[in-house]
C-alpha cells in the first residue's frame, strides 16, 4: 500500500499550529497596535483633543480673552432658543435643496443621457461640468458676487432680453439672497454628482439594456429598473458629500454676503465664526460647532444606513 505524501505546511501555518499561536500569546496584537500608533497619535492630537477642548469651552461663558465663567448647558440652550441661531439651521436646510437634491437630480439625468449618447465633445462637456470642483471656493465666490451685482452680467442679460422687471440686487434682496447663494452650490455640486454617476453607469452591462428593449421597455423604464438600482452606492456617496457641503458651508456665505442682508443668509458655520470672533461669545460658538458636528454625523449615518439597506 502506498503511503500518502504529506505536503509541508507553510511556516506561518506551522507557527499558528504551535501551542499559544504565533509566538507568545498576544504578541501579534501588540505589533499591530504599533503600526497604527502614528495615525492614532495624529488623530488624537489634531482631532480628538481639540474636540474635547471645544466641549469644555462650550460649558463656559467666555469672550476669548477674560476670565471664563461656568455656564453649564446655557450655551446649548441658546443654540436652540435664539432665533438667529435657529434660523441659521433653517437656512442650512434650504441650502440642502440647492446643494444636494437639485445637483443629484441633474447629475442623474445628465449621466443617464451622456452614458447612452454617442456624440463628439462629451469628454469636453464632462470637464466643463466638473471644473467648479477644482476652482478655489473663494475664487468662485468672488466671481459669482460680480455676476450678481446690480450692474453685473446677470442683470445686464435680463435687461437685454426685455426682462427688466426680474433684474434686482440679488445678494441684497431679502427674498433672493439665499437662493442666489444656493444656486452657486448647485453649479458646484452638479459636476461632482455627474462624474460619480457616470462611473457607476459605466459598470452596467449593456446586455441588460438590450434585454429590456427586447421586452418592450422604454427609456424611462430602463432608467428606473436598471440604471437607478445599479448606482445606489454612488447615489449614497453623492448625497453624503453634498449634504455635508450644505451643512458646513462657510466660504461662499462669508465672501458673498457675510450673512446679509440682515441675517437672511447666515448658516451654522458662519454663526460659529460670528459668535467666536466678532461678538465674543466663544462658549456659544463652540456649543453651536458641536451641535453642527453631531448633526453632520447623524445625517451621514442615516444616509449610509439607507444606502446599505437599498443595496441588499
Q: Is the pLDDT of residue 16 over 50?
A: no
For 44, which DSSP code? I
Residue range 207-218: mean pLDDT, rounded: 85
Cα gap 128→165, rounded to integer Å: 31
Q: What's the full length of the chain, in residues?
A: 312
Given this model, what pLDDT does residue 294 score? 94
Question: What's the pTM value of the predicted model, to 2 decimals?
Answer: 0.84
Q: Hey, CA dihedral for 213, 219, 224, 226, is it positive or negative?
A: positive
DSSP reduced 3-state for 231: coil
Given this model, what pLDDT does residue 208 score? 87
> For residues 98 and 179, is the Cβ–Cβ distance under 8 A?
yes
Burial class of residue 258 (count of CB atoms within 10 Å of its CB; 0-12, 13-18, 19+): middle
Q: What structural domains does the chain harbor?
A: 74-311 (1.10.3720.10)
The beta-strand segments (E) located in 5-149 are 60-61, 69-70
Cα gap 46→23, rounded to integer Å: 36
Nearest one of 241, 296, 249, 238 to 271, comparing CA atoms: 249
Q: What is the pLDDT of residues 263-301, one digit of tens each?
A: 999 999 999 999 999 999 999 999 999 999 999 999 999
- Between 103 and 12, name the one with better pLDDT: 103
Amino acid at each position: 500500500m502506498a503511503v500518502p505524501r504529506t505536503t509541508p505546511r507553510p511556516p506561518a501555518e506551522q507557527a499558528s499550529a504551535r501551542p499559544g499561536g504565533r509566538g507568545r500569546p498576544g504578541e501579534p496584537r501588540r505589533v499591530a497596535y504599533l503600526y497604527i500608533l502614528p495615525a492614532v497619535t495624529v488623530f488624537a492630537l489634531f482631532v480628538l483633543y481639540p474636540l474635547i477642548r471645544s466641549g469644555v469651552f462650550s460649558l463656559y461663558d467666555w469672550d476669548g480673552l477674560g476670565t471664563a465663567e461656568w455656564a453649564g448647558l446655557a450655551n446649548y440652550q441658546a443654540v436652540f432658543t435664539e432665533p438667529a441661531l435657529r434660523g441659521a439651521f433653517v437656512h442650512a436646510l434650504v441650502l440642502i435643496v440647492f446643494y444636494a437634491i437639485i445637483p443629484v437630480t441633474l447629475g442623474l439625468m445628465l449621466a443617464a443621457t451622456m452614458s447612452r449618447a454617442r456624440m463628439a465633445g462629451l469628454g469636453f462637456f464632462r470637464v466643463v461640468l466638473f471644473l467648479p470642483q477644482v476652482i478655489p471656493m473663494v475664487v468662485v465666490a468672488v466671481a459669482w458676487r460680480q455676476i450678481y451685482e446690480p450692474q453685473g452680467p446677470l442683470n445686464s442679460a435680463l435687461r437685454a432680453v426685455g426682462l427688466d422687471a426680474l433684474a434686482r440686487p440679488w445678494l441684497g434682496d431679502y427674498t433672493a439672497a439665499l437662493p442666489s447663494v444656493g444656486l452657486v452650490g448647485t453649479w458646484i455640486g452638479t459636476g461632482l454628482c455627474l462624474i460619480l454617476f457616470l462611473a457607476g453607469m459605466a459598470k452596467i452591462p449593456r446586455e441588460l439594456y438590450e434585454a429590456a428593449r427586447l421586452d418592450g421597455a422604454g427609456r424611462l423604464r430602463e432608467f428606473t429598473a436598471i440604471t437607478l438600482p445599479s448606482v445606489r452606492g454612488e447615489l449614497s456617496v453623492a448625497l453624503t458629500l453634498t449634504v455635508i457641503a450644505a451643512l458646513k458651508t462657510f466660504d461662499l456665505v462669508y465672501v458673498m454676503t457675510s450673512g446679509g442682508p440682515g441675517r437672511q443668509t447666515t448658516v451654522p458655520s458662519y454663526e460659529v465664526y460670528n459668535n467666536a470672533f466678532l461678538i465674543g461669545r466663544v462658549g456659544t460658538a463652540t456649543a453651536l460647532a458641536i451641535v453642527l458636528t453631531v448633526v453632520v454625523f447623524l445625517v451621514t449615518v442615516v444616509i449610509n444606513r439607507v444606502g446599505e439597506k437599498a443595496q441588499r
